Structure 1
Amino acid sequence: MRRNLLPVLALLLGTLFLFLGNGLHGLLLPVRGSAEGYSNEILGLLGTSWATGFVLGCFFAPKLVMRVGHVRAFSSFISLIAIIALLTGIQVDQYWWVVLRAVTGFCTAGTSMIIESWLNERATNESRGMIFSFYISITLIGVVGGQMLVPLGDPSTTILFMFCGIFYCLAMLPTTLSTAATPQPLKSVSLDLRSLYRNSPISFVGILLIGIANGAYGTLGAVFGARAGLSPTTIAVMMSLTIFVGAMMQFPAGKLSDTTDRRYVLAALSGIAALAAVILALVQPHDAYVLIGFVALYGAAANALYPIAVAHANDFARADDFVKVSGGLLLLFGIGTIIGPTLGGPVMTQLGPYALFAVTATSHGLLTTYAIYRSRLRPAVPAGERDYVPKIPVGAAPTSTPESLNLDPRAAPLTDVAETEPASQEN
């Protein structure tokens, strides 16, 4: 284990700092924006803008990396993210924030793809499952850790924005100083919606609905907390707890989906998420403990849906199509996270902050209904032929790119693995 992790330790450390910055900045902006009196529509656009930039980055960042090289591109992307984090603290302007979040999303996709390609280059067929697990765990720890830093500072000052810049600069150092060999060029990303739907209609529709619900809550959850009168500490706990309980739910939900028709599991979990959201929307509990309890129930069910939907799609895909199918679904999820905040903001303005959960309840209710309907039209893959791997899309948008799928144990075996050697020079 130690021998397998040492070559990628610097990359994983850089990943930790990157997502510490992402978690802190992603929660800090809506908290500060709410305090500044920004509208729900504008605060929703912060998530829409970030997700749009991220999806576009998955398509176009590989071309930039091909032109200037991995190290230069990585340094440029991180530098831009750090500069923007500082600018959002200095230039407190709602319209600039929306524009700058799109650039941050684009650059985050680029940095993530470069890190993931480096990790894939250093992985072997024996170690990539472990490296994949460490990578997913570190992204989770980074986002949650960054969110929990919000209560330690005053969101109305620039200090937390400065910490964001520091984390991003620290993320640059381990990777740019690493001796890992320069990886192969990033692979082009494609999105074939027609073939994705033909492969698994429930996964196609389900991933889009999950993206809408996650995007709405991930972006506007902090806005809901501020509008409902919660303290920054309570908001940070609420947002982080949904991610944490979702992570804990991965393994029992995945194990159940390996022995039961995954569509039934999707229907049950989305039904629980819808029920918790309906209770929150109708009862509107003012007691913080009751509120957080229902939000935790919601997060446990909602954040366990994505990997089950992806696993169901791959049950019907050929082994050599795993990366294509999973990558397409990841981008489809990103499209959903663009839609979610765009819908959620106006609904909250018209019906109040608790109406956010009406948006998520609608998405999860539709998923429950469609999953039950599809279970009657197509037989499930036999239990012994299914393979589930946990994957948590934390926050308002995907935190990994299609490049990370080459690390997934379900992907086709690696055929060309680089030996440990000093980094090659880039022109």
Structure 2
Amino acid sequence: MRQNLLSVLALLTGTLFLFLGNGLHSLLMPMRGATEGYSETILGFFGTSWAAGFVLGCIFARRLVKRIGHVRAFSGFISIIAITALATGIYVDPTFWILSRAITGFSSAATAMIIESWLNERATNESRGMIFSFYISITLLGVVGGQMTVALADIQTQTLFLMAGIYYCFAMLPTLVSNAQSPKPLNEVRLDLVALYRNSPVSFIGILLVGIANGAWGT
């Protein structure tokens, strides 16, 4: 068990910083938008565009991950998230911010795919529950810590956007400098929603409703 955790320590450390950035940036944008006088509809689109990008990332990002490998894809997508976080601090515009959230959502789906497939490969049947419980705990700790960071500076300045970018940059480092073996390439899997529904209609509808509720709550 201990050996399994050590094999993914670099990845989990990067995950912590990734979600510190996510927690900070996802809270900062609607707060700053409200002070800029954006309507509730515009603020809602921040969450909607992120979710749309996430769905597209789930469908299309796996091809790039399979082509270039987990480590480079992980760093590349986090770089994109960092760039968008910094850009939103430089250029304050609702249309640009909505687009940036879609890009962030796409990249977030890719990073989640990379992290979870990486953890799943390293875990054994005996350690899988423990490893994924650590993973979920780290993501929640990161989100909470990132959101608390908002209190450290004035949301009207660029400081918090810069801090989010710094978190994301730190998220790339552990896996880049680690000598741990990279995971195997992702297997190609075709998304078939009809077959998924036929296999378990109750679960399909339940997950859909949970997603709708989470989307409304998160927005």
Whether TM-score is above 0.5 comes out as: yes
> Following TM superposition, by how much is the alpha carbon of 1:189 offset from its aligned partner in structure 2, in angstroms?
4.7
> Following TM superposition, by how much is the alpha carbon of 1:126 offset from its aligned partner in structure 2, in angstroms?
2.1
> Following TM superposition, by how much is the alpha carbon of 1:32 offset from its aligned partner in structure 2, in angstroms?
0.5
The structure-2 alpha-carbon separation of the partners of 1:65 and 1:191, relative to structure 1 and needing over 3 Å to count, comes to closer
Residues 273-313 of structure 1, C-alpha deviation per residue, up to 9 Å, x if partnerless?
xxxxxxxxxxxxxxxxxxxxxxxxxxxxxxxxxxxxxxxxx
Q: Which amino acid aligns with 1:88?
A: T
Match of 2:100?
100
Matched, 1:21 2:30: no
Q: Which amino acid aligns with 2:192?
A: D
Match of 1:36?
36
Q: Which amino acid aligns with 1:155?
A: I
Moved more, 179-188 or 80-89: 179-188
| Structure number with higher relative contact order (C-alpha < 8 Å, ≥ 6 residues apart) | 2
Map of 1:309-324 to 2, 5 A cutoff?
none
> Following TM superposition, by how much is the alpha carbon of 1:132 offset from its aligned partner in structure 2, in angstroms?
1.0
Match of 2:184?
184
Conservation of the 8 A alpha-carbon contact between 1:58 and 1:189: no
Match of 1:131?
131
Match of 1:12?
12
Match of 1:334?
none
Conservation of the 8 A alpha-carbon contact between 1:70 and 1:114: yes
Residues 294-336 of structure 1, C-alpha deviation per residue, up to 9 Å, x if partnerless?
xxxxxxxxxxxxxxxxxxxxxxxxxxxxxxxxxxxxxxxxxxx
Match of 2:218?
218
CA distance in 1, matches of 2:119, 2:77: 18
Q: Which amino acid aligns with 2:63?
A: K
Matched, 1:153 2:174: no
CA distance in 2, matches of 1:195, 1:146: 39
CA distance in 2, matches of 1:200, 1:74: 32
> Following TM superposition, by how much is the alpha carbon of 1:16 offset from its aligned partner in structure 2, in angstroms?
0.5
Name the structure with the higher helix share. Answer: 2
Match of 1:113?
113
CA distance in 2, matches of 1:90, 1:150: 17
> Following TM superposition, by how much is the alpha carbon of 1:114 offset from its aligned partner in structure 2, in angstroms?
1.7
Moved more, 62-71 or 91-100: 62-71
Conservation of the 8 A alpha-carbon contact between 1:13 and 1:171: yes
Q: Which amino acid aligns with 1:207?
A: I
CA distance in 1, matches of 2:135, 2:114: 13
The structure-2 alpha-carbon separation of the partners of 1:142 and 1:50, relative to structure 1 and needing over 3 Å to count, comes to same
The DSSP-based 3-state class of the residue aligned with 2:18 is helix
> Following TM superposition, by how much is the alpha carbon of 1:66 offset from its aligned partner in structure 2, in angstroms?
2.2
Map of 1:265-414 to 2, 5 A cutoff?
none
Which consecutive unaligned segments of at least 5 residues does structure 1 have?
220-427
Conservation of the 8 A alpha-carbon contact between 1:59 and 1:189: no
Which consecutive unaligned segments of at least 5 residues does structure 2 have?
none
Conservation of the 8 A alpha-carbon contact between 1:19 and 1:139: yes
Q: Which amino acid aligns with 2:164?
A: C
> Following TM superposition, by how much is the alpha carbon of 1:115 offset from its aligned partner in structure 2, in angstroms?
2.0
The DSSP-based 3-state class of the residue aligned with 2:8 is helix
CA distance in 1, matches of 2:62, 2:23: 24
The DSSP-based 3-state class of the residue aligned with 1:211 is helix
CA distance in 2, matches of 1:123, 1:157: 43
CA distance in 1, matches of 2:202, 2:62: 30
CA distance in 2, matches of 1:88, 1:123: 37
Conservation of the 8 A alpha-carbon contact between 1:8 and 1:122: yes
| Superposition misfits of 4+ residues, deviation over 6 angstroms | none
Moved more, 165-174 or 62-71: 62-71
Map of 1:67-106 to 2, 5 A cutoff?
67-106=67-106
Residues 140-198 of structure 1, C-alpha deviation per residue, up to 9 Å, x if partnerless?
11112111221222111111111100000000001111222121112345443333333
Q: Which amino acid aligns with 2:144?
A: V
The structure-2 alpha-carbon separation of the partners of 1:27 and 1:63, relative to structure 1 and needing over 3 Å to count, comes to same
> Following TM superposition, by how much is the alpha carbon of 1:19 offset from its aligned partner in structure 2, in angstroms?
0.6
Q: Which amino acid aligns with 2:62?
A: P
Q: Which amino acid aligns with 2:109?
A: A
CA distance in 2, matches of 1:186, 1:147: 33
CA distance in 2, matches of 1:130, 1:111: 21
Residues 40-69 of structure 1, C-alpha deviation per residue, up to 9 Å, x if partnerless?
111111111111111111111111122223
Conservation of the 8 A alpha-carbon contact between 1:153 and 1:159: yes
Conservation of the 8 A alpha-carbon contact between 1:33 and 1:43: yes
TM-score by length of 2: 0.93
> Following TM superposition, by how much is the alpha carbon of 1:201 offset from its aligned partner in structure 2, in angstroms?
3.4
Larger Rg, first or second structure (1 or 2): 1
CA distance in 2, matches of 1:190, 1:143: 31
The structure-2 alpha-carbon separation of the partners of 1:93 and 1:65, relative to structure 1 and needing over 3 Å to count, comes to same
Q: Which amino acid aligns with 2:162?
A: M
The structure-2 alpha-carbon separation of the partners of 1:201 and 1:65, relative to structure 1 and needing over 3 Å to count, comes to closer
Percent identity (aligned): 72
